[in-house]
Every structure is written in structure tokens, then in C-alpha cells.
Structure 1
Amino acid sequence: MTEFTRIGKFKMTWLLDGYYPCTPDFVPGARSEEGRNLYKKAGLPPEGPSKEPFHAFAIEWKDHLWLIDTGCGQEAGPERGKAPEQLRSMGYSPEDVEGIIITHLHKDHTGGLLTSEGKARYPNTRLYIGESEMEFWTGSDVPEGNAGDHEVTKAVLEQYEGRIEVVPDNAVIAPGLRFVPLYGHSPGHNGVMIEDGGQRMLMWADLMHSSILQFHYPHWSVRPDMDPERAVATRLELLERLVEEDTRVAGSHTYGAGLVRRGEIAYELVPTDTDNRH
């Protein structure tokens, strides 16, 4: 069944778009005794892979339906791009989505904005994108290794022309929904803070790509990090701060939600009574 949780007036539902195999090729630090031990502790071969998710999220409140990111679409193979099916299982169609918050412009977060014919999948929505991220991907310095992301971004900007809001990186997008800058994975990578009624949930997007590995060794970067040093510094700073807070967290490539707390090695995710509801 579909996983969801509540944050005050908001209902947040995980839209599982598919999976990817996480190996030491993706997390180079895991090619170590420490990495092999973590894989084995999880009941996996010592070189993995672990099965990690691609998530988008639906946010409902009152008569509103928004999304945070949209998943891969057809950009990562036919076994992915399942977020629209998840949305339909909730009783919605793409036409029902009013707003889509884009955490960053990597194609596994934006490919789902397009149909297999390259047209806009969500005809009635507005997109909200942070200004630093938009400035980078519409500039002239996109690395060759990100050509695929760049092509999808260009197609998205064309198909959603006139329906894109470029906002400050720390903008309040709607009451209770605001960007949280978490730079490094991409130049303008943002999380989204959802808060109401004294409750808070930070959807930290691609701050972390493997629950098995990076909670224990948060200094391990991943291949797609565009600025690995800054991504690691952002992750370490945020995790350390969250240890002292009652802010729940969830991620695009991690499972479930909970509070960040000290763990046996470094950190762990501790579910609360309101997490992992079905």
C-alpha cells in the first residue's frame, strides 16, 4: 500500500517511481572494509547492490494537490517512471496537480514532467524552481557529464513556458512549504520544509542516496554529486543540527521517515509514532 504521513494539515505521500542498484561504483567509499561490513550486515553481498528508491512526493491539504519532484519519467528505463501510476492509485490524474516544487534539475527528478512524446505531463500546474539552480542549468557551464540533465531541463522549460516560477533559494513557496538550501549535490540543490501545527518534516531530496551506507559514513560522497566536497559538508552540518531537533526527515532516495539521532557508528534514522503510516 501507499506510504503516507501527516504534518499538521498536510498529508505527504511517497510516490515510488522505481529503484536503482547502489554499489561501490556509485558510492566509492563503500569499496572498503567498512562498506563490505555494512552490506553484509544488511544481508547483502559484500559489494552490494542495495535496492534504493526513486521517490517523488504528493502533498495534499484542503482542496489542494501539489508534488515535490516528479521522478524519472522514461529517462531511466521502462522499469521506472511509476509515479503517475502511484498518483492514479490515490484517485488523482495529472490534471489535478496545481503546483510542483522542483528540488533540483537532475533528470531523475524532472523526467516525469514529460510524457514519452516529450510533452508536458501536468497541463494545469505551475513549477517552482530555486533561482540558483535555474541560473546554473540555463547558463553555459554545464559539465559534459550532465548533458542528459541539461537536455531534459531544456525540454521542460520549453513545455512549461509561462508556467514556471523562479523563486529565491530560501523562498516560502506556499504557507507551510518553503525551500531549504542544501547545496553541493547540484549548485542550487534544495530541500523542502513542510510545517504546520507545530510539526515539521524536511524532505531533504538528494542529501543522501543510501540509508544503509551514508547514515553510518556521511562523509562518503556519490558519483552524481556535482560538488562532492560541498555536498559532504552540507550533509554533515545538517545531520549534526538535526540530532538536536524534533524535525522529521524523508528523502528522495531513502526509505521512510523519522528523526536523526546518534547511531552506533555516526547517525541513524529513528521512526516516530506518526511515521511509516499506511
Structure 2
Amino acid sequence: MPLSIHAFIRSVWRSRLKVMFFIGILLGFLLTTPTVNAINQNSTPNAGVYQFSVGDFKVATISDGLLKLPPLPTYAPLADPQEVEQAMVERFWSPDTLSLYFNALYVDTGTHHVLIDTGAGTELGTGLAKLAQNLAAIGIQSQDIDTVIITHAHPDHIGGIVATNGQLTFPNARYYISEAEWQFWMAPTVDLSSLLVPDPFKQGILASARKHLGAIASQVNLFQPDQEIIPGIVAIAAPGHTPGQSALKIESGGSQLIVAADVFFNEAFDLEHPDWQTGFDLNPQQAAETRRRLLNQVADERIMVMAYHMPFPALGHIRSQNAAPDTTNHIRYEWEPILWQFES
């Protein structure tokens, strides 16, 4: 019996040596093999579509792309630059680069195929104009869209109306925009002097509005605040950024989603510092009042929000930081992204 035990121990020890030898080879291979870079020039890009539901409605965030811009002076022109840098560094962002996402929303109500905003098209350079290809990824062609709702007429929201060939990108759609927004941009004289952006940019904003809104003049429907635009989608007045900007409430089967348009851009600036203005706010004080009102509403009512410029898929909830009022004794806010769902 003792001999059998010794033989067993020697056998196990030899097996352990073999296993240790194999592990050593494997570790050596891993340590000497270069790390594989997950992103390379030949890689397939990540998906630009996120599908979910609001009650009985089938909904999807559709990315039009991403721009990286310097945060100053455009996105916090009157703020203390040190505060701006601190706000960005606290979120592990480069203080020199602000990532600006462009996210439209597709809604299938069962009756209508709706697109909320059309992306920038080619109005802001070549890093965008990805909306049509991302819609196609979920089987939606441009001609399938029968309803386009425009939150406001800045180029990054309407630049996809007219395609590069001069034709309407969504030829079968009826277009909806607030009457106040339409009247402002289509008036004989448009005053953009309060915008804190260079004059050439102001001229570009106006030219874009004239071009894209002019192209849909025969297909446009004007709506008022609190009006139901189509069944299940109601306009919410959100002026300040532009005179007639509209947020939207989507409601179906007891579920709600607020589409915030450009009431706020990102958490470092507009949520932590809701009174900071951007260079694109036509009426900064009114924009701040609108921001506070909408943020308070969605925080109090715990409604899910879709925000055009937040990181894709631009869906989340707002909560107030009751213990951290800012220097104006106002409440700050936090963004809580949704939990990612792999199946819509």
C-alpha cells in the first residue's frame, strides 16, 4: 500500500510539472505577442442604430455621426475657462475637445413612419451625413418616411432635408415645424446678432435654413405648442435656443419619452451648469429658463429622455443633485444613461 501511494504522488507531481510547463509557455507567448488593436483602418464600424420601444411604438435612435470641436468659445463663451476645463476633466474628457453627437429619432407608430430631425447632411462637413445608411441598416429606406418633424431649423437638424443631388431626401414625407420657428426663419429679415459665433457662421446658419425650409414649402404643416402633431406625438414649447424650438412628448401604451432637441447639449455644461449659454442660443436667458423647466419636469416625473447631442444612443434619465446647488443657488442635474439592451 505505501508503494502505491508514493507512485500516485509521483504521477500527480509529474502531471503538475507538465501543466506548469504548458502554462509557462502560454504566458510567455502572451507576454511577447503584441496586443491586438481593436480598432484599425479595416475594421467594421460600430452600429449607429439603437432600437427600443415606447409602448406600442417601435423606436430607434439613428446616428448621423460625430464631430469633435474645441469647447471654447462656441459652447461656453461667457464661462470661466478654468471652470470649463475642470468640468471636462472631471468627466475624463480632453479639455481641448468636445465630442458632439448627432442623433435623430425614428418612430414607427403602426400608422406613420416618423423621423424627428434629419441630421446635418453635408452642411457641417464630411464627418456626418450617416443618417440614411443607418436607417437602411434596419430596413428603412428614405422613401418609407412619411412624416418628418423638425424640432428647430439649425443646420445640424435640417441639413438632411435636401440631398446632394438637389432633391428631397425624404420625397414622400409631410414636414412639420412650429409656426413660430417657420415664421422666424422665413421672414424677409432675420436678426442673428445675438449669437456668439463668427459672422460667416451666422450667414451659413441662415443660408441653410432658407435652402432646406424653402425646399419643403409646399409640403409643410405648421403646429402650435401643446398640439398633437400626429397621434401619440405632442409638441412642447422650448424657445430660447431658437424662437420656435420644440421638444416633443411621445406617448403610447402608458409609456412616455421626451425628445429634448437642443434644450441641453451635454452633462458637463448644461446639466452641471444649466445657466451657461452656448454661442448658438438666440435668447440666452429664455434658453436657460426653458432648460430649467424641462429638466425639472423630466427629473420630477422620471420620464426617459432622448437628447440630440448626448452620447449615442442619447437615451437616459435626469436626476437633480439636491445637495449641490451651483453659485446661483440653483440645482444641478445628472445624466443617467439607459441600461443597454441587446434585443430591442
CA shift for structure 1 position 181: 0.5
Give the 3 Å change call, closer, same or farther, for CA 7–18 of structure 1 in structure 2: same
Aligned AA (1:56): A
Aligned to 1:28: 77
Conserved 8 A contact 1:129-1:167 = yes
In 1, the alpha carbon distance for the partners of 2:191 and 2:153 equals 14
In 1, the alpha carbon distance for the partners of 2:317 and 2:97 equals 26
State yes or no: 1:39 paired with 2:88.
yes
In 2, the alpha carbon distance for the partners of 1:276 and 1:29 equals 41
Conserved 8 A contact 1:120-1:156 = no
In 2, the alpha carbon distance for the partners of 1:208 and 1:119 equals 32
Aligned AA (1:94): S
Residue 53 of structure 1 is aligned with which of 86, 101, 121?
101
Aligned AA (1:119): Q
In 2, the alpha carbon distance for the partners of 1:208 and 1:276 equals 27
The residue correspondences of 1:34-183 to structure 2 (distance < 5 A) are: 34-45=83-94, 47-62=95-110, 64-143=112-191, 145=199, 146-183=202-239
In 1, the alpha carbon distance for the partners of 2:118 and 2:211 equals 15
Conserved 8 A contact 1:65-1:97 = yes
In 2, the alpha carbon distance for the partners of 1:184 and 1:127 equals 22
> Which secondary structure state, in structure 2, belongs to the residue aligned with residue 140 of structure 1?
coil
Superposition TM-score, scaled by structure 1 size: 0.92
Aligned to 1:268: 334
Conserved 8 A contact 1:30-1:213 = no
Aligned to 1:210: 266
- Structure 1 residue runs of 4 or more that deviate by more than 3 Å after TM superposition: 29-33, 271-278
In 1, the alpha carbon distance for the partners of 2:131 and 2:338 equals 26
> Which secondary structure state, in structure 2, belongs to the residue aligned with residue 121 of structure 1?
coil
Give the 3 Å change call, closer, same or farther, for CA 163–173 of structure 1 in structure 2: same
In 2, the alpha carbon distance for the partners of 1:272 and 1:111 equals 28
Say what the alpha-carbon RMSD is for the aligned residues: 2.1
> Which secondary structure state, in structure 2, belongs to the residue aligned with residue 205 of structure 1?
coil
> Which secondary structure state, in structure 2, belongs to the residue aligned with residue 173 of structure 1?
strand
> Which secondary structure state, in structure 2, belongs to the residue aligned with residue 17 of structure 1?
strand
> Counting strand residues as a fraction of each chain, which structure ranks higher?
1
Conserved 8 A contact 2:257-2:306 = yes
In 2, the alpha carbon distance for the partners of 1:16 and 1:80 equals 9
Aligned to 2:62: 15
> Which secondary structure state, in structure 2, belongs to the residue aligned with residue 124 of structure 1?
coil
In 1, the alpha carbon distance for the partners of 2:250 and 2:292 equals 21
Conserved 8 A contact 1:202-1:249 = yes
Aligned AA (2:63): L
Q: How many residues align?
A: 277
Structure 2 runs not aligned, ≥5 long: 1-46, 193-198, 325-331
The answer to which of 136-145 and 79-88 deviates more is 136-145
In 1, the alpha carbon distance for the partners of 2:301 and 2:142 equals 36
> Which secondary structure state, in structure 2, belongs to the residue aligned with residue 122 of structure 1?
coil
Q: Deviations over 1:176-229 (max 9, x none)?
A: 101110000000000111011111111010001122322111111111111111
CA shift for structure 1 position 231: 0.3
> Which secondary structure state, in structure 1, belongs to the residue aligned with residue 319 of structure 2?
strand
In 1, the alpha carbon distance for the partners of 2:221 and 2:342 equals 32
In 2, the alpha carbon distance for the partners of 1:91 and 1:268 equals 35
In 2, the alpha carbon distance for the partners of 1:51 and 1:277 equals 27
CA shift for structure 1 position 277: 6.7
Residue 196 of structure 1 is aligned with which of 252, 261, 265?
252
In 2, the alpha carbon distance for the partners of 1:185 and 1:69 equals 16
The answer to which of 33-42 and 203-212 deviates more is 33-42
Greater RCO (CA < 8 Å, at least 6 residues apart): 1
CA shift for structure 1 position 274: 7.8
Point out the structure with max Rg over C-alpha.
Answer: 2
CA shift for structure 1 position 62: 1.9
CA shift for structure 1 position 120: 1.0
Aligned AA (1:116): T
> Which secondary structure state, in structure 2, belongs to the residue aligned with residue 87 of structure 1?
helix
